[in-house]
Amino acid sequence: MSHLIAGFPDGETSVAIADALVKGGASILEIQLAFSDPSADGPAIQTASTVALEKGYSTKQGLEIVKKIHDMHPDTPIYIMTYGSLAFTPGVENFVKMCKDAGVSACIIPDLPFDNDEGLTAACAKYGMENIPVAAPSMTQARLEEMASKGFKYIYAALRAGTTGSQTVIDQATLDFLDTVGKGGAKVLGGFGIRTGEQSKVLCKHVHAVVAGSVFVNIMLKDPKDTAGVEAKARELSGL
C-alpha cells in the first residue's frame, strides 16, 4: 500500500504520482486528504499537507483528485487517510458517503479511536466500506487485543512508537506486535518509516500489505517533478 497526498505538490502531479505508484507495483493506494493540523504525521507530511491546502485541495477538491485516480485505476483499491475533524465537521456519515462517491473503499482516521469513533465504523459498513483502525506498538496488550478482536477486516499497524517519517527497525518485538494485531483475523497493513526494499522484503512475510508513505513524499519534496523517482522507489519496495 503506497501513500500520497491529494493535491501535493499540485493536483495534476498527485494524479501522476498515483500512476507512478501503481506502475511501480502498488496494490493499494492510501490517499491522504490534507488537514491543517496533522499531529499524527511527521514534518514531511505536514509540509506537504500545507502545500496541498495552499493550492486549494481541501475535502471536496481532494476527493475530485481521488475520483480521477479511481477512474484511471478502477481495480486498485483506494483507502482515504485523514483526520477526525474533516470527517466530523460535515457529519461522519456524509463524509463517508462523499468518499464512497469518489470511489474510496476504506477510511483510515487515526484520531477517531476504535472505541469512540463517532459512528465511523457503522457509516463505512452502511456504504460497503471498511474502517481501518491504526494500531501502535505502545498500546497496552489489553487495548491491542481489544482492537484486534473487534472484527475489523484490516488493521493498520504503525510500527514505530512515534509519528511518520523516520526509520523503522524490524525486530522480534515488531514481529510479536504484528502477530497480536492479526490475532482476531484482521489482515494487517504494516508500515511507518519503510525506506528500503530490504525492509519491505522482511516485513512482507508477516503482513497482508507493506505500507510506505513518507518515503515517497520526501522524494517529491526534494524535487516536485520526480515522479520517475517515485516509480523507481515503488518498484524497489514492491520487489517488481
58 binds other proteins (CB under 8 A): yes
CB closer to other proteins, 24 vs 110: 110
Query: Residue 30 catalytic?
Result: yes
> Contact with other proteins (CB under 8 A): which of 128, 140, 141, 151?
140
Beta bridge mates, 158: 191
Judged by CB under 8 A, which of 71, 72, 126, 138 binds other proteins?
Answer: 138
Task: State which H helix or E strand residue 106 sits in.
Answer: strand 106-108
Question: What is the spatial distance between Cα 157 and Cα 207, in angstroms, rounded to a whole number?
Answer: 9
Given 41, 117, 231, 236, the catalytic residue: 41
User: Interface with other proteins includes 37 (CB under 8 A)?
Assistant: yes
**Catalytic residue chosen out of the listed positions 10, 30, 37, 117:** 30
Give the rounded distance of the alpha carbon of 222 from its chain centre.
Answer: 21
Number of H helices, E strands in the chain: 11, 9
7 binds other proteins (CB under 8 A): no
Of 2, 13, 14, 59, the one binding other proteins (CB under 8 A) is 59
Which amino acid, 68? K
For residues 148 and 139, give the distance between their C-alpha atoms in angstroms, rounded to a whole number: 12
Stretch that binds other proteins, among 104-112, 171-179, 218-226, 232-240 (CB under 8 A): 104-112
Cell numbers found for residue 112: 477517531
Non-local CB neighbours of 151 within 8 Å, separated by 6+ positions: 184, 185
d(CA 135, CA 110): 9
Q: Kindly state the smallest distance separating residue 111's Cβ from other proteins, in Å.
A: 5
* Residues with active-site annotation: 30, 41
Residue ranges in contact with other proteins by CB under 8 A: 35-40, 42-43, 46-47, 50, 53, 58-60, 83-90, 110-113, 116, 118, 133-136, 138-140, 143, 147, 158, 160-163
